[in-house]
Chain A
Amino acid sequence: MSGVLNVLPYLVAAWVFLAGCYGLATSRNLIHAVGCLSVCQAGTYVLLLAVGYRDNATAPVFSDIKPGSRPVVDPVVQALTLTDIVVGATVTALLLAVVMQISKRHGTVDPDELSELRG
Protein backbone atom coordinates (compact mmCIF):
# COMPACT_ATOMS: atom_id res chain seq x y z
CA MET A 1 0.00 0.00 0.00
CA SER A 2 2.78 2.42 0.89
CA GLY A 3 4.22 1.68 -2.57
CA VAL A 4 1.23 3.44 -4.12
CA LEU A 5 1.31 6.28 -1.59
CA ASN A 6 4.95 6.93 -2.45
CA VAL A 7 3.99 8.07 -5.95
CA LEU A 8 0.30 8.98 -5.58
CA PRO A 9 0.84 12.81 -5.31
CA TYR A 10 2.91 12.75 -8.52
CA LEU A 11 0.18 10.79 -10.29
CA VAL A 12 -2.42 13.28 -9.06
CA ALA A 13 -0.32 16.10 -10.58
CA ALA A 14 -0.13 14.20 -13.90
CA TRP A 15 -3.89 13.58 -13.79
CA VAL A 16 -4.72 17.24 -13.18
CA PHE A 17 -2.37 18.27 -15.98
CA LEU A 18 -3.91 15.78 -18.46
CA ALA A 19 -7.46 16.79 -17.47
CA GLY A 20 -6.53 20.40 -18.26
CA CYS A 21 -5.03 19.36 -21.61
CA TYR A 22 -8.20 17.45 -22.52
CA GLY A 23 -10.35 20.47 -21.70
CA LEU A 24 -8.02 22.75 -23.65
CA ALA A 25 -8.21 20.60 -26.78
CA THR A 26 -11.96 19.98 -26.76
CA SER A 27 -12.94 23.50 -25.66
CA ARG A 28 -15.73 25.25 -27.58
CA ASN A 29 -15.29 28.56 -25.77
CA LEU A 30 -12.08 30.58 -25.41
CA ILE A 31 -12.87 31.69 -21.85
CA HIS A 32 -13.29 28.01 -20.95
CA ALA A 33 -9.96 27.31 -22.67
CA VAL A 34 -8.21 29.94 -20.53
CA GLY A 35 -9.70 28.24 -17.46
CA CYS A 36 -8.38 24.88 -18.68
CA LEU A 37 -4.90 26.36 -19.06
CA SER A 38 -5.11 27.36 -15.37
CA VAL A 39 -6.03 23.74 -14.55
CA CYS A 40 -2.91 22.55 -16.41
CA GLN A 41 -0.86 24.97 -14.32
CA ALA A 42 -2.50 23.75 -11.12
CA GLY A 43 -1.02 20.34 -11.99
CA THR A 44 2.47 21.86 -11.91
CA TYR A 45 1.80 23.39 -8.46
CA VAL A 46 0.82 19.95 -7.12
CA LEU A 47 3.95 18.38 -8.66
CA LEU A 48 6.31 21.04 -7.25
CA LEU A 49 4.86 20.90 -3.74
CA ALA A 50 4.85 17.08 -3.80
CA VAL A 51 8.54 17.03 -4.77
CA GLY A 52 9.38 19.30 -1.83
CA TYR A 53 7.37 17.48 0.85
CA ARG A 54 9.16 15.75 3.69
CA ASP A 55 7.48 13.48 6.26
CA ASN A 56 6.59 15.14 9.60
CA ALA A 57 8.02 18.46 8.43
CA THR A 58 6.67 21.96 8.94
CA ALA A 59 6.80 25.20 6.94
CA PRO A 60 10.30 26.60 6.24
CA VAL A 61 9.67 29.69 8.40
CA PHE A 62 11.75 30.19 11.53
CA SER A 63 9.92 33.07 13.18
CA ASP A 64 8.25 30.73 15.68
CA ILE A 65 10.34 27.54 15.67
CA LYS A 66 13.96 27.12 16.67
CA PRO A 67 16.22 26.45 13.65
CA GLY A 68 17.16 22.78 13.57
CA SER A 69 14.50 21.69 16.07
CA ARG A 70 12.18 20.25 13.39
CA PRO A 71 12.62 19.17 9.79
CA VAL A 72 11.18 21.65 7.26
CA VAL A 73 9.87 21.10 3.74
CA ASP A 74 11.93 22.20 0.74
CA PRO A 75 11.72 26.03 0.44
CA VAL A 76 13.15 26.10 -3.09
CA VAL A 77 10.13 24.41 -4.69
CA GLN A 78 7.79 26.57 -2.61
CA ALA A 79 9.44 29.68 -4.05
CA LEU A 80 9.14 28.12 -7.53
CA THR A 81 5.42 27.51 -6.92
CA LEU A 82 5.01 31.15 -5.93
CA THR A 83 6.69 32.20 -9.19
CA ASP A 84 4.45 29.78 -11.05
CA ILE A 85 1.26 31.23 -9.52
CA VAL A 86 2.23 34.84 -10.27
CA VAL A 87 3.15 34.07 -13.87
CA GLY A 88 -0.05 32.01 -14.23
CA ALA A 89 -2.21 34.88 -12.98
CA THR A 90 -0.62 37.42 -15.33
CA VAL A 91 -0.85 35.09 -18.32
CA THR A 92 -4.53 34.49 -17.52
CA ALA A 93 -5.17 38.25 -17.41
CA LEU A 94 -3.39 38.79 -20.73
CA LEU A 95 -5.23 35.90 -22.41
CA LEU A 96 -8.60 37.15 -21.16
CA ALA A 97 -7.80 40.57 -22.63
CA VAL A 98 -7.03 38.89 -25.97
CA VAL A 99 -10.30 36.91 -25.77
CA MET A 100 -12.14 40.17 -25.20
CA GLN A 101 -10.64 41.70 -28.35
CA ILE A 102 -11.47 38.53 -30.34
CA SER A 103 -15.05 38.65 -29.13
CA LYS A 104 -15.33 42.32 -30.14
CA ARG A 105 -13.77 41.90 -33.59
CA HIS A 106 -15.27 38.55 -34.58
CA GLY A 107 -18.44 38.39 -32.51
CA THR A 108 -17.68 34.85 -31.31
CA VAL A 109 -15.49 33.08 -28.75
CA ASP A 110 -15.78 29.61 -30.32
CA PRO A 111 -12.28 28.69 -31.60
CA ASP A 112 -13.79 26.54 -34.39
CA GLU A 113 -15.54 29.57 -35.90
CA LEU A 114 -12.37 31.65 -35.95
CA SER A 115 -10.99 30.03 -39.09
CA GLU A 116 -11.00 32.97 -41.51
CA LEU A 117 -8.34 35.65 -41.53
CA ARG A 118 -9.41 39.23 -41.23
CA GLY A 119 -7.15 42.17 -42.04
Chain B
Amino acid sequence: MTRRGRTWLLLAAGAGLAALLVAACLKLPHFGGDRHPYGDRAVRASLARHTANTVSSVNFDQRAFDTLGEMTILFAAVVGCVVLLRQTRDEHRARPEPAEVALPVRRYALVVLPVALLSGLYVVAHGQLSPGGGFQGGVVAATALHLLYLGADHRALERVRPVGAYEVADALAASAYLVTGLAGLIGAGAFLANTLLPYGTFNTLSSGGTVPLLNAAIGMEVACAVVVLLAHFLDQAVEIEEGSGT
Protein backbone atom coordinates (compact mmCIF):
# COMPACT_ATOMS: atom_id res chain seq x y z
CA MET B 1 0.00 0.00 0.00
CA THR B 2 1.29 3.48 -0.79
CA ARG B 3 2.11 5.99 1.91
CA ARG B 4 -0.81 8.17 0.79
CA GLY B 5 -3.28 5.30 0.94
CA ARG B 6 -2.07 4.35 4.38
CA THR B 7 -2.52 7.90 5.66
CA TRP B 8 -6.13 7.98 4.40
CA LEU B 9 -6.87 4.61 5.98
CA LEU B 10 -5.35 5.85 9.24
CA LEU B 11 -7.39 9.06 9.19
CA ALA B 12 -10.63 7.18 8.48
CA ALA B 13 -10.01 4.67 11.26
CA GLY B 14 -8.88 7.44 13.61
CA ALA B 15 -12.05 9.46 12.93
CA GLY B 16 -14.16 6.37 13.69
CA LEU B 17 -12.29 5.69 16.92
CA ALA B 18 -12.50 9.36 17.90
CA ALA B 19 -16.29 9.35 17.37
CA LEU B 20 -16.66 6.23 19.52
CA LEU B 21 -14.41 7.66 22.25
CA VAL B 22 -16.36 10.96 22.34
CA ALA B 23 -19.66 9.05 22.53
CA ALA B 24 -18.24 6.99 25.43
CA CYS B 25 -16.93 10.12 27.21
CA LEU B 26 -20.37 11.76 27.05
CA LYS B 27 -21.88 8.78 28.89
CA LEU B 28 -19.27 8.72 31.67
CA PRO B 29 -20.23 10.01 35.13
CA HIS B 30 -19.58 13.76 35.32
CA PHE B 31 -16.05 14.92 36.11
CA GLY B 32 -15.61 15.77 39.80
CA GLY B 33 -18.79 13.93 40.82
CA ASP B 34 -19.38 12.65 44.32
CA ARG B 35 -20.05 8.97 43.55
CA HIS B 36 -16.91 6.87 44.07
CA PRO B 37 -18.12 3.60 45.62
CA TYR B 38 -14.78 1.77 45.24
CA GLY B 39 -12.79 4.75 46.50
CA ASP B 40 -14.95 5.11 49.61
CA ARG B 41 -14.61 1.41 50.42
CA ALA B 42 -10.84 1.50 49.83
CA VAL B 43 -10.48 4.45 52.22
CA ARG B 44 -12.55 2.66 54.88
CA ALA B 45 -10.53 -0.56 54.56
CA SER B 46 -7.27 1.37 54.68
CA LEU B 47 -8.24 3.22 57.86
CA ALA B 48 -9.42 -0.03 59.45
CA ARG B 49 -5.90 -1.42 58.92
CA HIS B 50 -4.15 1.72 60.21
CA THR B 51 -2.52 2.66 56.90
CA ALA B 52 -2.44 6.45 56.51
CA ASN B 53 -1.54 6.44 52.81
CA THR B 54 -4.56 4.88 51.14
CA VAL B 55 -2.76 4.45 47.82
CA SER B 56 -0.14 2.24 49.53
CA SER B 57 -2.90 0.30 51.22
CA VAL B 58 -4.53 -0.34 47.84
CA ASN B 59 -1.22 -1.38 46.28
CA PHE B 60 0.26 -3.51 49.05
CA ASP B 61 -2.79 -4.78 50.92
CA GLN B 62 -6.06 -4.71 49.00
CA ARG B 63 -4.52 -5.36 45.59
CA ALA B 64 -1.21 -6.88 46.70
CA PHE B 65 -1.61 -9.80 44.31
CA ASP B 66 -1.89 -7.35 41.42
CA THR B 67 1.32 -5.66 42.57
CA LEU B 68 2.99 -9.09 42.50
CA GLY B 69 2.10 -9.29 38.81
CA GLU B 70 3.38 -5.77 38.24
CA MET B 71 6.65 -6.62 39.96
CA THR B 72 6.95 -9.72 37.78
CA ILE B 73 6.53 -7.54 34.67
CA LEU B 74 9.31 -5.28 35.92
CA PHE B 75 11.54 -8.27 36.65
CA ALA B 76 10.84 -9.84 33.25
CA ALA B 77 11.59 -6.54 31.48
CA VAL B 78 14.93 -6.28 33.29
CA VAL B 79 15.83 -9.86 32.32
CA GLY B 80 14.79 -9.09 28.73
CA CYS B 81 16.96 -5.95 28.59
CA VAL B 82 19.95 -7.77 30.08
CA VAL B 83 19.63 -10.45 27.39
CA LEU B 84 19.09 -7.97 24.54
CA LEU B 85 21.88 -5.59 25.56
CA ARG B 86 24.62 -8.17 26.18
CA GLN B 87 27.95 -7.96 24.45
CA THR B 88 27.83 -9.92 21.19
CA ARG B 89 30.62 -11.84 19.47
CA ASP B 90 31.45 -9.08 16.99
CA GLU B 91 31.82 -6.41 19.68
CA HIS B 92 34.50 -5.62 22.19
CA ARG B 93 34.79 -3.55 25.33
CA ALA B 94 36.88 -0.40 25.35
CA ARG B 95 37.87 1.34 28.55
CA PRO B 96 36.42 4.83 28.26
CA GLU B 97 38.92 7.62 28.83
CA PRO B 98 38.37 9.60 32.06
CA ALA B 99 36.57 12.76 31.02
CA GLU B 100 37.12 16.28 32.33
CA VAL B 101 34.16 17.46 34.41
CA ALA B 102 33.61 21.15 35.08
CA LEU B 103 34.35 21.87 38.74
CA PRO B 104 30.90 23.35 39.61
CA VAL B 105 29.18 20.30 38.08
CA ARG B 106 31.42 17.94 40.05
CA ARG B 107 30.88 19.79 43.34
CA TYR B 108 27.12 20.08 42.87
CA ALA B 109 26.74 16.41 41.91
CA LEU B 110 28.77 15.20 44.90
CA VAL B 111 26.85 17.46 47.33
CA VAL B 112 23.43 16.47 45.98
CA LEU B 113 24.18 12.73 45.73
CA PRO B 114 23.85 11.86 49.46
CA VAL B 115 20.83 14.16 49.80
CA ALA B 116 19.09 12.53 46.84
CA LEU B 117 19.94 9.03 48.05
CA LEU B 118 18.59 9.80 51.53
CA SER B 119 15.41 11.34 50.06
CA GLY B 120 14.86 8.16 48.06
CA LEU B 121 15.26 5.96 51.13
CA TYR B 122 12.99 8.32 53.12
CA VAL B 123 10.27 8.08 50.47
CA VAL B 124 10.50 4.26 50.55
CA ALA B 125 10.46 4.09 54.36
CA HIS B 126 7.44 6.41 54.68
CA GLY B 127 5.45 4.77 51.87
CA GLN B 128 2.66 3.71 54.24
CA LEU B 129 2.34 7.19 55.77
CA SER B 130 2.91 9.94 53.22
CA PRO B 131 2.71 10.22 49.43
CA GLY B 132 5.30 8.00 47.78
CA GLY B 133 6.30 4.41 48.41
CA GLY B 134 8.55 1.70 47.08
CA PHE B 135 8.10 2.45 43.40
CA GLN B 136 8.76 6.19 43.60
CA GLY B 137 11.48 6.05 46.27
CA GLY B 138 13.27 3.21 44.48
CA VAL B 139 13.56 5.26 41.31
CA VAL B 140 14.83 8.30 43.26
CA ALA B 141 17.47 6.25 45.09
CA ALA B 142 18.64 4.51 41.91
CA THR B 143 18.96 7.69 39.87
CA ALA B 144 20.79 9.38 42.79
CA LEU B 145 23.64 6.89 42.34
CA HIS B 146 24.01 8.02 38.74
CA LEU B 147 24.89 11.55 39.85
CA LEU B 148 28.32 9.99 40.30
CA TYR B 149 28.47 9.46 36.54
CA LEU B 150 27.70 13.13 35.97
CA GLY B 151 30.02 14.37 38.71
CA ALA B 152 32.96 12.02 38.22
CA ASP B 153 33.09 9.44 35.43
CA HIS B 154 32.02 5.99 34.36
CA ARG B 155 34.83 4.27 36.27
CA ALA B 156 33.82 5.87 39.58
CA LEU B 157 30.24 4.77 38.99
CA GLU B 158 31.34 1.21 38.28
CA ARG B 159 33.23 1.05 41.56
CA VAL B 160 30.15 1.79 43.68
CA ARG B 161 27.85 -0.19 41.45
CA PRO B 162 28.83 -3.83 40.88
CA VAL B 163 26.03 -4.79 38.47
CA GLY B 164 26.14 -8.46 39.46
CA ALA B 165 25.35 -7.64 43.09
CA TYR B 166 22.39 -5.49 42.04
CA GLU B 167 21.07 -8.28 39.82
CA VAL B 168 21.18 -10.67 42.79
CA ALA B 169 19.56 -8.06 45.06
CA ASP B 170 16.80 -7.57 42.48
CA ALA B 171 16.01 -11.30 42.55
CA LEU B 172 16.21 -11.37 46.37
CA ALA B 173 13.74 -8.47 46.66
CA ALA B 174 11.33 -10.23 44.31
CA SER B 175 11.62 -13.39 46.42
CA ALA B 176 11.08 -11.37 49.62
CA TYR B 177 7.72 -10.23 48.26
CA LEU B 178 6.76 -13.83 47.46
CA VAL B 179 7.94 -15.07 50.88
CA THR B 180 5.85 -12.42 52.65
CA GLY B 181 2.89 -13.59 50.58
CA LEU B 182 3.55 -17.22 51.49
CA ALA B 183 3.82 -16.28 55.17
CA GLY B 184 0.27 -14.93 54.82
CA LEU B 185 -0.79 -18.22 53.21
CA ILE B 186 0.67 -20.30 56.05
CA GLY B 187 -0.20 -18.03 58.98
CA ALA B 188 -3.49 -16.49 57.92
CA GLY B 189 -4.87 -18.89 55.31
CA ALA B 190 -4.69 -16.66 52.23
CA PHE B 191 -1.83 -15.65 49.93
CA LEU B 192 -0.63 -12.10 50.74
CA ALA B 193 -3.29 -11.76 53.46
CA ASN B 194 -2.56 -8.83 55.74
CA THR B 195 -3.90 -10.28 58.99
CA LEU B 196 -0.69 -11.75 60.36
CA LEU B 197 1.11 -8.78 61.88
CA PRO B 198 -0.38 -6.26 64.35
CA TYR B 199 -1.62 -3.11 62.61
CA GLY B 200 0.26 -0.84 65.02
CA THR B 201 -0.49 2.77 65.94
CA PHE B 202 -2.04 4.86 63.17
CA ASN B 203 0.42 7.22 61.46
CA THR B 204 3.64 5.65 62.79
CA LEU B 205 6.39 3.92 60.79
CA SER B 206 5.42 0.43 61.96
CA SER B 207 1.71 0.71 61.16
CA GLY B 208 -0.18 -1.18 58.50
CA GLY B 209 0.75 -4.84 59.11
CA THR B 210 2.63 -6.28 56.13
CA VAL B 211 2.33 -3.05 54.08
CA PRO B 212 5.75 -1.67 55.14
CA LEU B 213 7.43 -5.04 54.44
CA LEU B 214 5.99 -5.37 50.93
CA ASN B 215 6.70 -1.69 50.35
CA ALA B 216 10.36 -2.14 51.30
CA ALA B 217 10.67 -5.23 49.07
CA ILE B 218 9.25 -3.27 46.14
CA GLY B 219 11.54 -0.32 46.91
CA MET B 220 14.60 -2.57 46.80
CA GLU B 221 13.40 -4.33 43.66
CA VAL B 222 12.70 -1.10 41.77
CA ALA B 223 15.99 0.52 42.83
CA CYS B 224 18.01 -2.53 41.75
CA ALA B 225 16.03 -2.89 38.52
CA VAL B 226 16.63 0.75 37.54
CA VAL B 227 20.34 0.47 38.37
CA VAL B 228 20.70 -2.71 36.26
CA LEU B 229 18.74 -1.22 33.35
CA LEU B 230 20.72 2.03 33.32
CA ALA B 231 23.99 0.10 33.70
CA HIS B 232 23.31 -1.93 30.57
CA PHE B 233 22.21 1.09 28.52
CA LEU B 234 25.29 3.02 29.74
CA ASP B 235 27.56 0.09 28.81
CA GLN B 236 26.14 0.17 25.29
CA ALA B 237 26.73 3.91 25.03
CA VAL B 238 30.13 4.13 26.70
CA GLU B 239 31.99 0.81 26.65
CA ILE B 240 30.83 -1.58 23.96
CA GLU B 241 32.11 -0.88 20.48
CA GLU B 242 31.71 -2.62 17.17
CA GLY B 243 34.50 -4.67 15.62
CA SER B 244 36.14 -7.75 17.07
CA GLY B 245 39.55 -6.26 17.93
CA THR B 246 40.50 -6.18 21.59
Contact = CB atoms under 8 A, between A and B. Distances in A.
Nearest to B46: A75
Contacts of A62: 47, 52-54, 203
A86 B229 CA distance: 14
B89 interface: no
Nearest to B128: A63
B31 A72 contact: no
Contacts of B233: 93, 96-97
B85 A100 contact: yes
Given A5-B31, A51-B28, A74 B39 contact: yes
Interface residues of A, number: 50
B220 interface: no
A66 to B, nearest CB: 11
A114 interface: no
Interface residues of B, number: 57
Contacts of B53: 60-63
A78 interface: yes
A5 B32 CA distance: 10
Interface stretch (B74-82, B108-116, B149-157, B185-193): B74-82
B165 interface: no
A51 B81 CA distance: 34
B103 interface: no
Interface stretch (B18-26, B93-101, B176-184): B18-26
Query: For the complex, would chain A's binding face be called helix, strand, loop or mixed by DSSP majority?
Result: helix
Contact of B203 (A17, A63, A77): A63
- From DSSP, what is the main secondary structure of chain B's interface residues? helix
Contacts of A6: 30-32
A31 B71 CA distance: 25
A60 B81 contact: no
Nearest to B56: A79
Given A18-B21, A83-B70, A60 B80 contact: no
Contacts of A74: 36, 38-39, 42
A35 interface: no
Given A18-B14, A60-B54, A93 B47 contact: no
B113 to A, nearest CB: 22
Contacts of B222: 86
B70 A94 contact: no
Given A79-B63, A93-B77, A53 B32 contact: yes
Interface stretch (B117-125, B129-137, B167-175): B129-137
A82 B10 contact: no
A100 B234 CA distance: 12
Interface of A: 5-11, 14, 17-18, 21-22, 25-26, 50-55, 59-63, 67, 71-79, 82-83, 85-87, 90-91, 93-94, 96-98, 100-101, 104
27 contacts: A6-B30, A6-B31, A6-B32, A11-B22, A14-B18, A17-B21, A18-B21, A22-B14, A25-B6, A54-B33, A54-B34, A55-B34, A60-B43, A60-B53, A61-B52, A61-B54, A63-B53, A63-B130, A67-B47, A73-B39, A76-B38, A83-B59, A83-B67, A86-B73, A93-B77, A97-B84, A98-B84
